[in-house]
A = this chain, B = another copy of it.
């Protein structure tokens, strides 16, 4: 093999053995036409020379790259990286690679990422919408051309696009009722932007939970933030500044819950004695903080697996109807919400 040549090709093998390229190709694919003897020799040489088919050539030929584009709001949150692990596991089984991009929670970067990934010829996308995303035209091209697409967690167009979500309404309701059962009555909720399904659905569960406990909804106790740490801290502040403070708070996600925890502590209030706190988080973070955080824990790895399965379902059954997978969350009670 000449210097600088990093991968060998069918041609190299053919030259070496003195047969044609197609014979080599067939031999390696165990085509029955080729004589056992020749097949054996070719396969032996291929193994010795570390031959592996060039995916670029295969991709060109078959118009299939075996790559999935994954776009998440950020890479550094455990929630997303754990979901990505789940996607990767299923993708690997199928011999697919994943290409990861982060929207940094901005619509602009999300649009660019969608375009870049399509340009790279991924076979489709698995996406969690950015916090800013409330128009969805950048997915039109995928939908129109039947390019596989799956949304998870923050979703849209659920009638056209398969998606994976958790039972947000039910989960928020469970939190509210848990507070009630533990004697809390002024229950606050720190929501995210209104256009996100997760924010809406959790608000809905919150309201329904209050109602089922016979508590009247007090609009002062529902505050919004953009889900950044900073804004979540401010939102927490607004709750704590109320003439009648809440005695319990739940936050829409990890970032919000931790920001709330820090702010509550910073003001010298105790959790759960002065204010109970519950989050929507993942297993890991909930146990590392102090006090351990009662929370709805997301089955993150499973979310990723389910999203990948929906993706391959589209690859394998292009005509199938968009399906929505709803995964169950668990309310895990820890110290932060029980006096």
Tallying the copies of this chain within the complex gives 2
Q: Is the CB of B55 within 8 A of A121?
A: yes
Residues on B with beta carbons closer than 8 Å to the beta carbon of A15 = none
Tell me whether A311 is interfacial, beta carbon within 8 Å: no
Q: Is the CB of B75 within 8 A of A81?
A: yes
Determine the residue in chain B with the shortest Cβ distance to A119.
B52
Cα(A288)–Cα(B198), bound, Å: 24
Partner of A4, one of B60, B85, B146: B146
Interface string of A33-47 (1 = CB under 8 A from B): 000000000000000
Partner of A55, one of B75, B76, B101, B120: B120
Interface string of A71-107 (1 = CB under 8 A from B): 0000110100110110010000000011111100000
Partner of A288, one of B57, B60, B65, B285: B285
Chain A contributes a number of interface residues (CB within 8 A of B) equal to: 44
A327, chain B: closest CB distance, angstroms: 18
Interface residues of A, Cβ cutoff 8 Å to B: 4, 6-7, 50, 52, 54-57, 59-60, 65, 75-76, 78, 81-82, 84-85, 88, 97-102, 118-121, 141, 145-147, 258, 262, 265, 284-285, 287-291
